[in-house]
Amino acid sequence: STHRIAVIAGDGIGKEVMPEGLRVLRAAAARFGLQLEFTTFAWANCDYYREHGQMMPADWFDQLKGFDAIYFGAVGWPDAVPDHISLWGSLIKFRREFDQYVNLRPVRLMPGVPCPLAGKKPGDIDFYVVRENTEGEYSAVGGRLFEHTERELVLQEAVFTRKGVDRILQFAFELARSRPKKHLTSATKSNGIAISMPYWDERVKAMAAHYPDVRWDQYHVDILAARFVLSPERFDVVVASNLFGDILSDLGPACAGTIGIAPSANLNPERTLPSLFEPVHGSAPDIYGQNIANPVAMVWSGAMMLDFLGKGDARYVQAHDAIMHAIETVLVQGPRTPDMGGTASTTEMGMAIAALL
Ligand code: NAI
Ligand code: MG
């Protein structure tokens, strides 16, 4: 059956790495006989905002809801549009309205990538950060009182629902169960955030009872961050609330090398609405226009998309594995973009990956 994919390049280097992501996906589809149908959308970017005063047309939800997935570049152009407007007007709307409650980020030290942590080699760092993506600390509940006076008061609530907490924990335990180490770590801070985090811990304990085959532990997020840097090899699946997961899922990929290769998935595991696949990095205004952005994060995000769409279908698994193998080969042999010490262009690196397929 045909998979329909909405393509949104966004801003900055999103527009440069997207063609390479599509080039590789088309090559994989041709080789493994996948039916992928791409539809490009020219909104959810800051140029559209400048013309229309909003990031997306009013009917964006209806235009996108029927797609199987959204393949997304990066959004944001801070010189023209404040980041809270561009991100909350597009990406964050997708995550919330499409109920993409899992933000999944692999943290893997790839061959050929210099590791910022001393003495680590490929295989030492290989885990997932599972971030809750729809509630928690990132709530819209709160407000300001007595503005611009000495009594000024600002309040923002964190929201933890039983449904919201349990579903992210269930996803994380299932993921841990599917992996050889079968190990889960929960990020908490119940010593300081003494209402919501003890609740989170309680739900972890209750969920763990359903997964006797998964070993689990928990750490306060501060020491957990230190352990990411000091002993990343001990992690397998790390589950965290929205804010803690945001921080850990940037720290993790940073421990495993350049931001230019880190991918992510925003999943609606029930598949009632489209999931979204995007690089971890943003629009990188500082390098935009030179065709030197590393396309690997975009390509790897495409591999994650195939893995999700295929639901275990052998052709999709093969396509995913072949893309990952091609990425590894190019990371080792080159051509490489300047962020990896090379001189190749975005296009050259993308073409080299596609050629291996
Ligand atoms: P950024 O990720 O765009 O850039 C950070 C640094 O990493 C820059 O020096 C950049 O040149 C470099 N970099 C990023 N991707 C790279 C790649 N593929 N190859 C080589 N180098 C790369 O983060 P920054 O500068 O904080 O944000 C820029 C804009 O992007 C802002 O508007 C921000 O809100 C937005 N942003 C959007 C995200 C998204 O769409 N998911 C995520 C993060 C930021
Ligand atoms: Mg972040």
Tens of pLDDT, residues 329-357: 999 999 999 999 999 999 999 999 999 99
102 within 8 A of 165, measured Cβ to Cβ: no
Q: Is the CB of 87 under 6 A from ligand 1?
A: yes
CA 213 – ligand 2 centroid, Å = 32
Ligand nearest to the CA of 280: 1
| Omega before 212 within 30 of 0, i.e. cis | no
Instruction: Please give the CATH architecture assigned to the domain spanning 126-255.
Output: 3-Layer(aba) Sandwich (3.40)
Measured in angstroms, how far is the CA atom of residue 207 from the centroid of ligand 2? 27
What pLDDT score was predicted for residue 193?
95
Q: Is the CB of 79 under 6 A from ligand 1?
A: no
Domain ranges of the chain: 1-101+258-357, 126-255
Q: Which residues lie below 8 Å from residue 147, measured CB to CB, with a gap of 6+? A: none
The topology under which CATH files domain 1-101+258-357 is: Isopropylmalate Dehydrogenase (3.40.718)
Ligand nearest to the CA of 91: 1
ipTM above 0.90, yes or no: yes
Residue range 242-272, pLDDT digits in tens = 999 999 999 999 999 878 999 999 999 999 9
Of the residues 83, 217, 222, 321, only one is catalytic, namely 222
Residue 282 near ligand 1, beta carbon < 6 Å: yes
| pLDDT < 70: residue spans in the chain | none
126-255 shares the fold of 1-101+258-357:
yes
Distance between CA atoms of residues 188 and 212, nearest Å: 21
Total-model pTM: 0.95
Alpha carbon of 246 to ligand 2 centroid (Å): 5
- Cβ of residue 260 lying under 6 Å from some atom of ligand 1: yes
